[in-house]
Chain A
């Protein structure tokens, strides 16, 4: 498989702002080879199904920006990126219940995703001394559970749980003073991780007139996103407290608990 668009995330902590760059004279297309072996089985009269799959993939021409690169509003982006490669492998398990009042699935993925970006010549160190390092989306564990239960004809409960290993990030491993400034000294790229991401969502589905087959058919959904108000970190930044001058880490969390009500109708 080939991909002609390249993603460049320009921050030390993952944020939603990304840059995409197309392939061209300087940026070669990404070439991907993927190998997968899987086992699929339905049992108990197709009531349950089990899928187990393992994969291994390699990507050529995976680009990454050099240390200190400034990507925003940069017209010559090819000057601040290096060409490398990446690899990913893992095991996926999916267990599904397809029928009955309780339906749902449970999925678990164990995986590793790494990349290697050497310098252009033997004199250049590349990124992280040309050794394998984590890609920005490496997640060791990824667990998700989705379930729905039909209480009766009118009421239905849905729930959704996610657990993911925190995204790789780069944190300082020391500080020093230079020219009257306090300077954080950062370690190798993506050597650290944000704390684990997990949340539970729940929703109630209410259909006032379930037997209606014609005309105005409607249902209500009452939902709570992130039920236990987990403050999942979108990024962690480091700086000095303006009052005390001592160093501190600041977490940016985007959504806490979010209640919602929606009304759906069909004509």
Chain B
């Protein structure tokens, strides 16, 4: 019997296609990464906002270094200045008197290592999540939990949506972007499916309104972080540049994005 198992094992290792290997990759010079996502949660005053600055790291490193000591502020069109103050040396910058206005144009300004980075974005509104539908026999193998978050798209306006599905226990998040090209004015759903979800798990579903260019950016970015990267249907990988510009030295461009959204949050406990 043992011999049979051994034979099967050897056959399997001979046939199996994929294995994890050690490989040397080039390490580029660190760049500034701007994670500036302003969320105005529906029903709040939206005064407290966070901006996270970090640096790129070598691909196989386990830690991402924060970018500390930067001078960060946002300017609105009526010249209100919102200063973001760093919390210790975390690379997390906080402002507690932000004034969110739908349709307002905000300008981000960051001074880091004597280089100035700027970006502009408009606060984009969003419709609320109306209901959640759960299905327990989803997926290809029929053992995945599927979550559908329904919302109604406003008619005759181009809308773009970013959905974030956050599982609180594991702190994992999945992002999906949608446009309304074929669903204008209809009730439609955002879709999430997971085989590791269990009854009782808490999740946060966030729906944010985003601009068309933010949609394009996130769409390309998400394709590159696809878990199945390397599959034959994948798009050409490349450096994905966002809407932030280095004014002092354009070649040392930053990564990340400056996004200003109205956001609706739905807390859901898996049944």
Which A residues fall within an 8 A CB radius of B?
Answer: 10-13, 15-17, 65-72, 170-187, 189, 191-192, 229, 231, 233, 235-241, 246-254, 256-257
Contact = CB atoms under 8 A, between A and B. Distances in A.
A8 to B, nearest CB: 10
A172 B25 contact: yes
Contacts of A171: 23, 25-26, 59
Contact of A174 (B59, B175, B220, B224): B59
Interface stretch (B72-80, B135-143, B231-239): B231-239
Contacts of B225: 181-184
B28 A185 contact: yes
A236 B21 contact: yes
Interface string B207-218: 000000000000
Contacts of A12: 229-230, 234, 236-237
A160 B55 CA distance: 49
Contacts of A253: 17-19
Contact of B173 (A10, A180, A240): A180
B252 interface: no
Interface stretch (B60-68, B118-126, B147-155): B60-68
Interface size class of B (residues with CB under 8 A): 35 or more
Interface of B: 14-15, 17-23, 25-28, 30-31, 33, 35, 37, 54-62, 64, 164, 166, 173, 175, 220-221, 223-225, 227-240, 255-257
A10 B232 contact: yes
A173 B25 contact: yes
B17 A252 contact: yes
Lowest 7 A-B CB distances belong to which pairs? A237-B230, A67-B238, A17-B232, A174-B56, A12-B237, A173-B28, A186-B237
B68 to A, nearest CB: 15
B235 A173 contact: no
5 contacts: A12-B229, A174-B28, A181-B225, A250-B19, A253-B19
Contact of A187 (B26, B31, B233): B26
Given A174-B56, A176-B57, A256-B14, A238 B256 contact: no
A68 B238 contact: yes
A177 B171 CA distance: 14
Contact of B234 (A11, A179, A249, A252): A11
